[in-house]
Amino acid sequence: MKKAVQKSRIPTGKAFVIKELIAPYFDVNWHFHSEYQLFVVLKGEGTRFIGDHIQRFQAGDLVLTGPNLPHLWRSDQIYFQDQPELETHGIVIYFPDHFLNNAVFELEEFGLIGQLLEKSASGVAIVGKTREIIQTQMKKLLEKDGVGSIIQLLEILEIIANSPDCQLIADPTYVNLHKDSERDRMGLVYELVMKDYTNKITLKEAADLCNLSESAFSRYFKSRANQSFSAFLSQVRIHQACKLLQEDKLNISQICFECGFFTLSNFNRQFKERMGKTPLEYRNEFLR
């Protein structure tokens, strides 16, 4: 299996870094870092984890994350099965938490950008017309260097800061309690769930992976993910079900078992609790 492109830190002497990522799948490592990150998906789909939030992503997904906000764009499992016709493509910009020494964002002219950077602590999804504009600007930025590149980055941030097409992602109360030493531990749990969500996953299985007792793991996971492990697992399965419902290739019962639910009644109940509608209502609404 080919390895995904790994992200790199900002070199000394550089104001920011922009990279084009083309790989069989996106970085599989759940992680956080001290830089701000603006990332757009140009090709590929899967599940996006930002703080305590889970959502499907596809081409066009555009997100600004603040320093030390945990995140992962996990490509669908099919991308890991040596499918030569499948690849992922994205553009990522990293700029430091002391970007332009921060003092500039206290000036009136940069006030809105400063507010945007504060909001990025919860992650900001950029949608609508603004998403199309920023995607084009990021492609142009790949070709720029010198002072012009910094000016263009500021223009990108200004467009986002002035746009109504922005949505906060993680719960505003979410706080990253993870230590650097815990990245691998949570990464293993995310990997387990994304690989095996179609099967039964027990609390003991996840706890053993982290070398914790079941009770200790339950407390640990809830304090880090803002929800119980069972709720997290259910949320992942529901989002996978949404994808299959949109594709309209399988019937409701098939989707139920394909996504790891073992009774149709339980699937319908959990889906309606989370999505506010039944699977059939969701599919019909999407197809309309």
Q: What share of the chain is helix, strand, coil (3-state, %, to 5)?
A: 50, 15, 35
Residues in a beta bridge with 19: 92
DSSP 181-250: GGHHHHHHHHHHHHHHTTS---HHHHHHHTT--HHHHHHHHHHHHSS-HHHHHHHHHHHHHHHHHHHT-S
Q: pLDDT of 36-82, one tens digit each?
A: 999 999 999 999 999 999 999 999 999 999 999 999 999 998 999 88
pLDDT of 164 above 50: yes
The whole-angstrom separation of Cα 16 and Cα 179 is 25
Q: What pLDDT, on the 0 to 100 scale, is given for residue 102? A: 63
CB 241 within 8 A of CB 270: no
Confidence of residue 3 (pLDDT cuts 50, 70, 90): very low
The full set of domains in the chain, from first to last, is 17-168 (2.60.120.280), 180-287 (1.10.10.60)
Mean pLDDT of 104-132: 88
The whole-angstrom separation of Cα 206 and Cα 218 is 10
Q: What distance, in Å, lies between the first and last C-alpha atoms of the chain? A: 39
Q: Establish how many alpha carbons lie within 13 A of residue 50's alpha carbon, considering only the half-sphere containing its beta carbon.
A: 26
145: left (phi over 0), alpha (psi -120 to 50) or beta: beta
pTM to 2 decimals?
Answer: 0.85
H-type helices in the chain, by residue range? 111-119, 128-141, 146-161, 183-196, 203-209, 214-225, 229-247, 252-258, 264-275, 279-287
Q: Which of 243, 217, 241 is nearest to 230 (CA)?
A: 217
Residues in a beta bridge with 71: 31, 50
Mean pLDDT of 170-193: 82
The whole-angstrom separation of Cα 288 and Cα 184 is 43
DSSP-based three-state secondary structure for 160: helix
Confidence of residue 192 (pLDDT cuts 50, 70, 90): very high
DSSP 53: E
H-type helices in 29-69, by residue range? none
% of the chain exceeding 90 in pLDDT: 70
